């Protein structure tokens, strides 16, 4: 949500609350004048805040957001996971980030990417290479990327990118399913930081997902299998001290809907398994933060 709308929304809520208070506590002859005075003062407040907002360039805002990202538990958690499991990352491929010259969410996402590159480059002799693209990039976006240094490159066409290795981290914040399917087919990511693929596709039945996004459907199937397996192991450990009681059979027939079976083996893919490394504590580390929904549903996947 752009900062303008956020400020307006907060002041609107404050105004409504104050009007309700006046309506309940003040005599009739004072109500109208008090309400008018309060609304006028808040309108002036919006103007002052928006003037300050406009005077701040998007570059300054990104610098401010980098500091917020660095201090966040979300970022510390991710860095810990990456350093523990993937010490060999040499490249980051970023798609679907949006225009950070114009969009609030994209500014937080590019701030996140800049800080991540800085942290991962510390233990290496060379900078992490960043391959980035979004069709909505403006001239200001392109210039900003150019100013970040020679290790940052705008590489638009998926077909021109070399096949991914386990040295490349893919970062696709809020990528549409069509793009995700295309990336899975052409660039073959292994370390995949993007929307939680299981949650992002749960509006589809298995057969519909298979028909529309076959590669993704097979990947989601692997993710779900591994998730169920992990949960079953946890349940088994917790149930060791408990006695299992069988339910009595109920009379009567229950109608059970059985979903059509999907032939996942018919889909040729580069991967044989997949798992979720982190969903940021079930999304708790992503919620109620200054970045609003810039990283909602972000999840680190491993695709092998």
pLDDT digits (tens, 9 = 90+) for 72-93: 999 999 999 999 999 899 999 9
Q: Is 162 exposed, middle or buried (0-12, 13-18, 19+ CB in 10 A)?
A: exposed
Q: Answer yes or no: are the C-beta atoms of 297 and 245 closer than 8 Å.
A: no
Confidence of residue 23 (pLDDT cuts 50, 70, 90): low
Domain boundaries, the chain: 3-55, 73-234+261-303
Residue 55 has pLDDT above 60, yes or no: no
The percent of residues in the chain predicted with pLDDT above 90, rounded, is: 64
Mean pLDDT, residues 66-75 taken together: 98
The pLDDT assigned to 5 comes to: 47
pLDDT, residue 121, reads: 93
Worst-scoring range by mean pLDDT, 151-160, 170-179, 224-233? 224-233
Phi, psi at residue 83, to the nearest 5°? -70, -30
Q: How many residues does the chain have?
A: 304
The more confident residue out of 26 and 60 is 60
Residue 300 has pLDDT above 50, yes or no: yes
The fold adopted by the segment(s) 73-234+261-303 is: Rossmann fold (3.40.50)
Average pLDDT score over residue span 270-295: 97
For position 103, what pLDDT does the model report? Answer: 95
Percent of the chain with pLDDT over 70: 69
Q: Which residue has the higher pLDDT, 104 or 229?
A: 104
Select the highest-mean-pLDDT range: 42-46, 249-253, 256-260. Answer: 256-260
pLDDT tops 80 at residue 21: no
pLDDT of residue 3: 54
Q: How confident is the model at residue 218 (pLDDT cuts 50, 70, 90)?
A: very high
Residue 161's pLDDT band (boundaries 50, 70, 90)?
A: low
pLDDT tens string 112-158: 999 999 999 987 777 899 999 999 999 999 999 999 999 999 998 65
Q: How far apart are CA 69 and CA 57, in angstroms?
A: 18
Q: What is the mean predicted confidence (pLDDT) over 160-169?
A: 74
Mean pLDDT (whole number) for 30-34? 51
Residue 50 pLDDT level (bands cut at 50, 70, 90): very low
């Amino acid at each position: 949500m752009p900062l303008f709308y956020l400020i307006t929304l907060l002041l609107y809520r404050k105004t409504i609350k104050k009007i309700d208070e006046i309506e309940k506590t003040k005599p009739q002859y004072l109500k109208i004048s008090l309400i008018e005075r309060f609304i006028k003062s808040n309108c002036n407040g919006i103007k002052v805040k928006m003037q300050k907002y406009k005077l701040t360039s998007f570059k300054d805002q990104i610098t401010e957001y980098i500091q917020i990202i660095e201090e966040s538990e979300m970022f510390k958690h991710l860095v810990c996971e990456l350093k523990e499991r993937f010490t060999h990352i040499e490249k980051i491929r970023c798609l679907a980030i949006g225009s950070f010259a114009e969009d609030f969410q994209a500014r937080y996402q590019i701030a996140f990417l800049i800080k991540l590159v800085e942290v991962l480059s510390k233990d290496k002799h060379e900078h992490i290479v960043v391959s980035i693209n979004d069709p909505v990039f403006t001239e200001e976006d392109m210039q900003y990327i150019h100013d970040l240094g020679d290790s940052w490159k705008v590489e638009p066409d998926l077909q021109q990118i070399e096949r991914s290795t386990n040295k490349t981290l893919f970062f696709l914040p809020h990528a549409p399913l069509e793009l995700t399917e295309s990336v899975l087919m052409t660039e073959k990511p292994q370390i995949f930081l993007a929307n939680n693929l299981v949650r992002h596709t749960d509006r589809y039945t298995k057969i519909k997902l298979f028909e529309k996004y076959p590669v993704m459907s097979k990947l989601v199937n692997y993710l779900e299998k591994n998730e169920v397996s992990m949960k079953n192991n946890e349940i088994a450990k917790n149930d060791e001290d408990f006695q299992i009681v069988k339910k009595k059979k109920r009379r009567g027939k229950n109608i059970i809907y059985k979903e059509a079976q999907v032939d996942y083996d018919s889909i040729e893919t580069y991967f044989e398994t997949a798992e979720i490394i982190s969903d940021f504590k079930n999304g708790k580390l992503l919620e109620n933060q200054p970045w609003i929904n810039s990283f909602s549903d972000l999840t680190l996947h491993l695709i092998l």
